[in-house]
């Protein structure tokens, strides 16, 4: 592995998608700055990346706090120029379906703070570091609910629609400044313990028979790597991915 | 005018669109409950509606406060069954264009609270009153920014995208319960003093020469009336309107 | 009924939607020019409209023949100024689902000629008559397949997508010339004998239990009437309608 | 270069995009079957690919003729299993802007036959060869006009919308059969002599100053290569690309 003098920040470096993204960018030579709420849970990821010869700095990070986001990204950038920021919070959870009358204002606000507001902060603070340098990549993880407000998903879809708007506005403003802003839409369930459990509960064991209907976290990481590799003459803003057997 | 035993709530009964909606529904016999932040500014509207023989109850209303929204709609419903709720905040202002780096977290949050969060509250509280009765109409005002995150509009588009998701989720859940949820997209500038001023400033006096390029507030009110009149066998969720000369 | 000095052409005046549109515009005082392939089958419609005091001219019309379309619309315009043209072919039939490998080039071409090419001819020839006069209305009937290429619908969706593009291009070009071009998307089955039969066959008798899940043809006609009534300061290009109980 | 026992068909192997796609897949070891109307004009491409050690079979092909498409793809498949078919006709030409009244039925039909009907034939005939084998890739080149019917583009947009519907229907039907169907939207001008000439004519020499606003044909080829490399657990149906400086 050839080390790069560059950092990739992964905000929302959870057990599945986020961890795979971190591993992929570490494997490509970036120093990864990985943040998640409960920093202690990043330990296995750190061990795995370091065992493969990769570099990672793990941090507890509450992405809803402006000063924490700013500090996290500044620290990354001090370590080595911040070249990539991937915002990945609230990506692999389609939350529980809430009828509108049971959606409390507390839930509505909290989902927005986690999945939209913190994305705005991460995007803006990355841009602040990247614009003067005239290059960079800011990627956001979206979901089916980024495009469709399904029954029972008012809170989650509202936050994901809102995040998509942030990404789109930033892409239009920052593209001409040589910063690639992209929005990856994962149009399927992701293969995590949580999703497996829930599918089994809803539809029985057979729902798990076909592994090809769930998106492996490593495939998401590979999609981000494809976005990163695009030349600036042919950038994609929105990349939608789904497993071959998914109904859409 | 034949009076109806029904109320129509207009949340965001500002000087232009909101006022015209209030006048239209009052003219059709509804008792209108009109709310806006500065209740005193509703006086001319009250005088105008009452002079035409209509009924209106005007209230100061901070729509970002759950308890105020709940009380406002409950009061309307006690007066006479709430048949229509129109959420109209942040509709006729395309806000000032903010580069992403100048968009403070305070602005981002405030725009969301005004244009999305308060819409969720208004929608949910209307639904709470309408669902047991098995009928009702909940309408939301959208804008070009509901569908497009333009450069410089991260905060506004994020809130408007988010509101659209709320409307869509509610429409899918509540349609089968006989509640018509609709989202009206005004894809043009609205003819208000504020917009005229801004256009003149940006593009000179000629920008005002063609009145057909601005949407008259009364035409918005007429569009809402069209939505209200649709039979349940042919409901529209999203109605996009623009003046004939608008470029799109 | 007050007669107007104006004609409304209905191309594809079939037994259901087209007939209801014809009746509605006749009832509003237009002389209706109704065309369908088998002109003899227009007789009951003629009798019904004339019995109500309306005016109708019925014609056999193969809308895939340029010279027939031109003559039909010219004749309407000679009778009285052509104010409305509604293109309605292939609207209420979702055709039979064809796997791609069984879609012959003959079917693909024929569906396109009926549902797209003839719509282009009707739109262009109407425009030719309306542009010099500086007013008019050109409406096209779309379907779910106008927006979604479902499995098994390559031919039908391709034609309906293509028709939508024609409508959109014409709307952008002709709007500023005071011609209202609109595209009505019927996002549900329409209540016709053919659809009822097919549903019963596919899903059994219960599929017919809930009449609220099928769109009554008269509701489509009412939607066209709403489009016609819009002031030019607030035109809708695309109007999507569905019954309240429809899943979407 | 490691040769593969597989063919890649490029239908519409014109001077720019098509030629670059052919070169890319040849460089990756495929035997390329290249077809274009005027087969003689494929000679320089053949020389270039063969000089680099690649394999190519060049053919005159009128893609609007079912029997020619069938024969072309069958021949490719006999040479070695057809693994990729890329339909690329009418991709790099945004045709000349035609006001609707000047769009003859001949132009409308011809554009459709070239850009939509022949795509349907190519897609279906590829599927016929790939389905029994349980694998394959069928890619279609789209343009801005695949999503937007601009003023003056009724014929071109209608054909491109129609092609997109074919691609979408095929993707939904064939995805579960392990065939990757994708639609690449090039949302910008492509850097060709023809486009440069036209830009200069319309906007003067300065319109050519910034090469970053035109898509290099090789970047399109690279995007197709990215699509080809996606694992089936994370397929993209629609990939939209534009140069970093493009306004959208």
The predicted model gives D219-240 an average pLDDT of 97
The predicted model gives D5-17 an average pLDDT of 94
Q: Which chains touch B (3 or more CB pairs under 8 A)?
A: A, C
Band of pLDDT at residue A90, cut at 50, 70 and 90: confident
Q: Which among A110, A141, A103 is positioned nearest to A13, based on CA atoms?
A: A141
The whole-number pLDDT of residue B239 equals 98
Cα end-to-end span (Å), chain B:
39
The whole-number pLDDT of residue C94 equals 52
Burial annotation D155-188 (CB, 10 A radius, 16+ → b, else e): bbbbbbbbbbbbbbbbbbbbbebbbbbbbbbbbb
Task: Tell me which residue in D100, D121, D169 faces C169 most closely, judged by beta carbons.
Answer: D100
Q: Which residues of B touch A (CB under 8 A)?
A: 66, 99-101, 103, 105, 108-109, 112, 116-117, 120-121, 123-124, 127-128, 131, 145, 148-155, 157-174
Q: What is the mean pLDDT of chain D?
A: 94
pLDDT digits (tens, 9 = 90+) for C48-77: 999 999 999 999 999 999 999 999 999 999
User: What is the Cα–Cα distance from B142 to B242, expressed in whole angstroms?
Assistant: 12
The whole-number pLDDT of residue C209 equals 73
The predicted model gives A34-62 an average pLDDT of 97
Helices A154-174 and B118-130: angle between axes, nearest 10 degrees:
150
User: What is the Cα–Cα distance from D199 to D203, expressed in whole angstroms?
Assistant: 6
Q: Which chains touch C (3 or more CB pairs under 8 A)?
A: B, D
Q: Which among B97, B90, B100, B190 is positioned nearest to B141, based on CA atoms?
A: B90
Q: Which of C158, C159, C183 to mutate to test the interface with D (most CBs of D within 10 A)?
A: C158
**Is B234:C227 a contact under the CB 8 Å cutoff?**
no
Taking chain B (248 residues) in runs of 10, the rounded mean pLDDT of each run is: 96 92 98 96 97 98 98 98 95 69 95 97 98 98 96 96 98 98 94 82 79 88 98 97 95
- The interface pTM score, or ipTM, of the predicted complex is 0.95
**Is B147:B100 a contact under the CB 8 Å cutoff?**
no
Given an 8 Å threshold on Cβ–Cβ distance, is A245 in contact with D176? yes
Residues 6+ apart with CB under 8 A from B42: B13, B34, B36, B58, B59
| Residue D183 pLDDT greater than 60, yes or no | yes
Cα end-to-end span (Å), chain D:
39
The whole-number pLDDT of residue A94 equals 52
Task: Tell me which residue in D229, D232, D248 faces A243 most closely, judged by beta carbons.
Answer: D232
Share of chain C above pLDDT 70, in %: 97
> What size, in residues, is chain D?
248
Q: Which among C139, C78, C173 is positioned nearest to D101, based on CA atoms?
A: C173
| Residue C92 pLDDT greater than 70, yes or no | no
User: What is the Cα–Cα distance from B78 to B75, expressed in whole angstroms?
Assistant: 5
The predicted model gives C85-109 an average pLDDT of 84
* Top-confidence residue, D129 or C202: D129
> Chain B residue with minimal CA distance to C173?
B247
The whole-number pLDDT of residue B91 equals 53
User: What is the Cα–Cα distance from D121 to D118, expressed in whole angstroms?
Assistant: 5
> Chain C residue with minimal CA distance to B188?
C234
Q: Which among C48, C46, C44, C24 is positioned nearest to C34, based on CA atoms?
A: C46
| Residue D191 pLDDT greater than 90, yes or no | no
The pTM assigned to this predicted structure is 0.96
pLDDT digits (tens, 9 = 90+) for A13-22: 988 999 999 9
The whole-number pLDDT of residue B203 equals 82
Longest CA–CA separation in chain B, Å: 54
The whole-number pLDDT of residue A124 equals 98
Asked whether the CA dihedral D167, D172, D174, D176 is positive or negative, the reply is positive
The whole-number pLDDT of residue D95 equals 56
Band of pLDDT at residue A226, cut at 50, 70 and 90: very high
- In DSSP terms, which residues pair with D37 in a beta bridge? none
pLDDT digits (tens, 9 = 90+) for C30-51: 999 999 999 999 999 999 999 9
> Residue B87, SS3?
strand
Torsions phi, psi for C195 (to 5 deg): -70, -40
D176: Cα separation from own chain's centroid: 23
D155: Cα separation from own chain's centroid: 18
pLDDT digits (tens, 9 = 90+) for D71-93: 999 999 999 999 999 999 975 45
Q: Is C105 exposed, middle or buried (0-12, 13-18, 19+ CB in 10 A)?
A: middle
> Residue C127, SS3?
helix
The predicted model gives C169-198 an average pLDDT of 92
Q: Is D4 exposed, middle or buried (0-12, 13-18, 19+ CB in 10 A)?
A: middle
Band of pLDDT at residue A9, cut at 50, 70 and 90: very high
Residue A144 sits at the vertex; the CA angle it makes with A189 and A169, to the nearest 5 degrees, is: 135
Asked whether the CA dihedral B107, B112, B115, B119 is positive or negative, the reply is negative
CB-CB neighbours of C79 under 10 Å: 15
> Chain C residue with minimal CA distance to D163?
C158
The whole-number pLDDT of residue A96 equals 64
* Top-confidence residue, D45 or D196: D45
The whole-number pLDDT of residue C93 equals 53
Q: Which of C190, C236, C239 to mutate to test the interface with B (most CBs of B within 10 A)?
A: C236
Given an 8 Å threshold on Cβ–Cβ distance, is D120 in contact with C148? no
pLDDT digits (tens, 9 = 90+) for A145-164: 999 999 999 999 999 999 99
pLDDT digits (tens, 9 = 90+) for A92-129: 455 568 899 999 999 999 999 999 999 999 999 999 99
Q: What is the mean pLDDT of chain B?
A: 94
Band of pLDDT at residue C96, cut at 50, 70 and 90: low
Q: Are strands A179-186 and A136-143 parallel, antiparallel or unpaired?
A: parallel
C136 contacts in B (CB within 8 Å)? none
Band of pLDDT at residue A136, cut at 50, 70 and 90: very high
Q: Which of A233, A235, A246 to mutate to test the interface with D (most CBs of D within 10 A)?
A: A233
CA dist list (Å): A240 to A219, A226, C150: 12, 12, 18
Asked whether the CA dihedral A58, A61, A63, A67 is positive or negative, the reply is negative
| Chains B–C, number of C-beta pairs less than 8 Å apart | 92
> Residue D160, SS3?
helix
Q: Enter the tokens of residue C85.
A: 């043209």
The predicted model gives A31-44 an average pLDDT of 96
Share of chain A above pLDDT 70, in %: 97
> Residue A32, SS3?
strand
> Chain A residue with minimal CA distance to D176?
A245
pLDDT digits (tens, 9 = 90+) for D192-211: 888 888 888 888 887 777 77
Residue with tokens 């009128």: D62
The whole-number pLDDT of residue B32 equals 98
Given an 8 Å threshold on Cβ–Cβ distance, is C158 in contact with D116? yes
The whole-number pLDDT of residue B68 equals 98
Q: Enter the tokens of residue B77.
A: 């419903």
């Amino acid at each position: 592995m050839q080390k790069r003098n560059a950092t990739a920040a992964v905000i929302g470096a959870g057990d599945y998608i986020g961890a795979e993204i971190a591993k992929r960018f570490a494997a490509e030579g970036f120093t990864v700055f990985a943040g998640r709420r409960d920093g202690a849970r990043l330990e296995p990821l750190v061990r795995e990346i370091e065992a493969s010869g990769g570099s990672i700095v793990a941090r507890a990070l509450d992405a809803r706090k402006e000063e924490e986001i700013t500090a996290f990204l500044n620290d990354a950038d001090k370590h080595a120029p911040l070249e990539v920021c991937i915002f990945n919070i609230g990506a692999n959870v389609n939350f529980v379906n809430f009828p509108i009358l049971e959606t409390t204002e507390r839930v509505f606000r909290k989902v927005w703070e986690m999945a939209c507001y913190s994305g705005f902060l991460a995007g803006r603070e990355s841009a602040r570091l990247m614009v003067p340098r005239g290059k960079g990549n800011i990627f956001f993880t979206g979901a089916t609910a980024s495009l469709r407000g399904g029954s029972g998903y008012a809170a989650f879809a509202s936050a994901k629609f809102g995040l998509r708007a942030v990404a789109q506005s930033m892409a239009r403003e920052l593209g001409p400044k040589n910063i690639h802003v992209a929005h990856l839409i994962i149009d399927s369930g992701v293969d995590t313990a949580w999703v497996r459990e829930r599918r089994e509960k809803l539809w029985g064991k057979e729902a798990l028979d076909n592994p090809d209907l769930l998106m492996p976290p490593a495939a998401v990481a590979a999609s981000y790597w494809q976005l990163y590799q695009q030349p600036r003459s042919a950038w994609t803003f929105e990349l939608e991915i789904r497993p071959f057997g998914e109904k859409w």
